[in-house]
Structure 1
Amino acid sequence: MTLNLSELLTKVERIALQAGDAIMAVYARDFSIEEKDDKSPLTAADMAAHRVIMAGLRALPQGIPVLSEEDIGSFAGADANGRYWLVDPLDGTKEFIKRNGEFTVNIALIENGRPVLGVVVAPALGVSYLAARGVAAFKVEWADGKTAERTPIRVAGKPTDGATWRVMGSRSHPSPDLADWLETLGRHDMVPMGSSLKLCLVAEGKADVYPRLGPTCLWDTGAAHAVVEQAGGRVETLEGEALDYAAPSEKLNPYFVVWGHGD
């Protein structure tokens, strides 16, 4: 079955915005913090967003299975067309707890191991990033609850020789391997940020590169990966291979680099 990705993108954007509303309802009040088996934090906002997204995606007529961070056990694998939804209902829970606004809703459509559609909503910042194969990549900023027009985005391109690289870094997950990598890169300025926003800033041309030399899961990157690719960038392993989502049972990504240019 051939999908209309443009139409699907609009529907998934709506679902992600509704999940963002559910997150902000918790953000506005006191909330408790639990600890999952992997020692990562969990709040009522994670689960509220999860429920909204699961209901929304399951209501779509395509019947594509869903892999959500908050319900891994219910996922039986991709469908016969190699498709599945890859969801992080609240990416950047640590940032949510810190109340710094740097958290997102991530929804990606994976097809044969590749992210072909992605929606990233940062509800506290009033911004969304979305993209689909054959459509384009966009940024949407809104105020007072009213969604603005989509603005097409593109990566900045490779910095010229001798220029200072604008590097995105993790705010909550420092990496001991990063210093050596940055020394090889050359002159640079580092900007720390939480969640998948780091990839999105590369996609819109506000940063040149994001090296992630530390653990991440598939749902942390899938949606923003789609945005980067449709904006003209790359998300690659350290060996130069495209980051792949064909084996969701493995859950963990290898180390990777997000490049704001196509070569």
Structure 2
Amino acid sequence: MTGKAAIDGLDRGVLLEALIALAEAAGDIVWRHFVEGATVTIKPDESPVTAADHAAEAAILAGLAEVAPHIPIVAEEEAAAGRVPDVDGAFFLVDPLDGTKEFIRRGNDFTVNIGLIEQGAPTMGVVYAPARNALYWGDATIGQAWRADRAPDAPRAAERRIAVRDPHTPPCAVASRSHADPATAAWLDAGGICDCVSVGSSLKFALVASGEADVYPRTGPTMEWDTAAGDALLRAAGGTTLDPDNRPFRYGKPGFRNTGFVAAGRYRPAPLRPFIRD
């Protein structure tokens, strides 16, 4: 089954609006846990998980099962529990709370992420940052992306189109607050990039997509649900995500694990491979 065939019968605009509504609802759940305080436990891989992660994911899974019951869903907490469907063609990647450590620290850089993969590429994505009142979405198949202000439990404000920008001189990079490393610093230095904005979660993709930064390098490993929604948003806004050898970044890899990547707008990055230790 091809990715295209897998969503036949679904209107793309209707599906995207459904994904936006699900991200908003999940963001409201996350926000209520943020305000009231969420129980934290430690998973077998020693990463934290909260009641907000579980509640938001359950809401997204239930909603996706209604709007697109024939499309498999790979979700972070389901995968952590060993429940991973076989994927062949289109599938959803869900991270109900990207930036859990930021959430626990009472920061504001956590997001809800829902992405659609078709034929190995992210084609549709929604990123919602409830603590920042920022909602982003896009469809790469039509090359359009949007942003709207949206406070938790409040109506969505007017949307506006977003797009990547022409590179600044020197280019501005965006990097993670919690995953800074010497390899990233070396890559930035080699490219003469001295302006760097630090932000957490999938907001790094959103900043490049909305023309607030030029490039986002990541030398360390991530999971596909961490990147799918933001990557789709970036591609919809005119950007691209490349693997360490500057080839198009693909999804549906073994274990849904990512190696390093570079996400960029119109900036043309050097390969990341020489800076990564396998």
TM over 0.5: same fold?
A: yes
The alignment status of 1:138 with 2:146, answered yes or no, reads: yes
Is the partner of 2:67 in helix, strand or coil? coil
After TM superposition, the runs of 4+ consecutive aligned structure 1 residues lying more than 4 A away are: none
Q: Please say if residues 143 and 238 of structure 2, whose CA atoms lie closer than 8 Å, have aligned partners that are also in contact.
A: no
Over the aligned positions, Cα root-mean-square deviation in angstroms equals 1.5
| Runs of at least 5 residues in structure 1 that lack an aligned partner in the other structure | none
Name the residue aligned to 2:256.
251
C-alpha distance in 1 between matches for 2:137 and 2:52: 22
C-alpha distance in 2 between matches for 1:13 and 1:84: 17
- CA offsets per residue over residues 215-239 of structure 1, 9 Å max, x none? 2110010001011011111110121
Q: Tell me how far 1:136 sits from its aligned partner.
A: 1.0
C-alpha distance in 2 between matches for 1:219 and 1:210: 17
Q: Tell me how far 1:38 sits from its aligned partner.
A: 1.2
C-alpha distance in 2 between matches for 1:10 and 1:60: 11
- CA offsets per residue over residues 142-161 of structure 1, 9 Å max, x none? 247120122110101233xx
Q: Tell me how far 1:173 sits from its aligned partner.
A: 1.3
Name the residue aligned to 1:101.
108
Segment of structure 1 superposing worse, 133-142 or 52-61: 133-142
The alignment status of 1:156 with 2:182, answered yes or no, reads: no
Name the residue aligned to 1:189.
195
Q: Tell me how far 1:187 sits from its aligned partner.
A: 3.8
The alignment status of 1:37 with 2:35, answered yes or no, reads: no
Which residue of the other structure, out of 259, 266, 269, is the alignment partner of 1:261?
266
C-alpha distance in 1 between matches for 2:166 and 2:69: 36
Q: What is the TM-score with the length of structure 1 in the denominator? A: 0.93
The alignment status of 1:53 with 2:60, answered yes or no, reads: yes
Q: Give me the identity figure in percent.
A: 41
How many pairs does the alignment contain?
Answer: 257
Change (3 A) 1:61 1:42: closer
Name the residue aligned to 1:12.
19
| Runs of at least 5 residues in structure 2 that lack an aligned partner in the other structure | 269-278
Q: Tell me how far 1:116 sits from its aligned partner.
A: 0.9
Segment of structure 1 superposing worse, 11-20 or 26-35: 26-35
Q: Tell me how far 1:190 sits from its aligned partner.
A: 1.3
Name the residue aligned to 2:175.
169
Is the partner of 2:91 in helix, strand or coil? strand
Which residue of the other structure, out of 156, 164, 167, is the alignment partner of 1:147?
156
Q: Tell me how far 1:31 sits from its aligned partner.
A: 2.5
